[in-house]
Structure 1
């Protein structure tokens, strides 16, 4: 329905159209609607005047006939380089308003999702800190060895949360997207990338994977694959 065209049932009773039909006949009525169909799928519902020869050939009329129709019927607006239909633009107004509302709703939904992700990550970090304090586990050390427990996700140091130098949240989201779910592998990647330091090797690796569907399809164990590339 993205390219549907609203056709008023009483369009033929419009004074300008009746005058056009009286002058051009029903052939002119057909030309009128073919022009509207063409304009409907153009950006901004307007077209470059240079397309008239092609349009005339499609309609099986002369360029002179089509120009006379557009310039003299009073049904179209002609600027220096483009032509449009004020009636069509007006009738498409509700659809444009709906599209804009959908875009705004999508934008707000995206912002809400990002906020939820941030809140979830903060909650996870608090929970991990609490667990590690109880267990007295050394595995939360950002740069240290994981020791005995590799089921606990490393907590990023404070400096890694500086978005001027790091993108920890973006790295975690990308690892999730790549289906890296083994905590041991995630921790190893965090250490090797200094928790998502900007301009690091990891970003080129992720870029190459995301822009090569063939490569992505061949990767069976994404965590091990990324680690191998980081260590090379």
Structure 2
């Protein structure tokens, strides 16, 4: 099955490359169109390469390029031998430039996916540990924990992807297909979830690519953490609020346990 390749980078000045200019001098704009159609086909193929030796393979290419089989066969041969735009091992032909770009893209995607999975596994592990501790406490403590806000995915059973999808809907961003959703969620693990939320909020009523560009701009500015995109006083206040809430909760549990064990030491209670 061919790999998914929704996009690949394309230099805006590619037409001025000396090798490309030589090819255009012979084949004109038609050859330029053929070249990029073949590149698109390579980007969709396994190994980012196309068959070069099958009996009727150039008939198939000709259907795509809307030309005769002998024309595309001669064009590919010239791109290999004359213009050096393609490389070949006599069984397949490919573009070294495309391979480098796609391999880099695959490497980045794999690293992002691995980072996201590792981060989510750690959060799930922490959540499970917290649940085990909570089960050992009073039932009131469990109820309090279940009522915590669902916006903090580190403490609740909501995945980052679900949060991001919710924000996209909340701020009315246009999202064209699964590929755009996968691209924006790939930043999980690269930046804090609050950075992604901020980008989506700034892209309100626009589209997902606009939010992705904001994320990339924030990364280039070194703003990848929650603290870097929120005023320090807001972060400090949130931490203080969480600490106060936790302390109040602990004090409440301690008081309840004292009330329930008030006869444990044998002292009488005056009514």
Higher relative CO (Cα under 8 Å, sequence separation at least 6) belongs to 2
- TM-score norm. by structure 2 comes to 0.41
Look at both structures and tell me which one has the larger radius of gyration over its CA atoms. 1
- TM-score norm. by structure 1 comes to 0.48
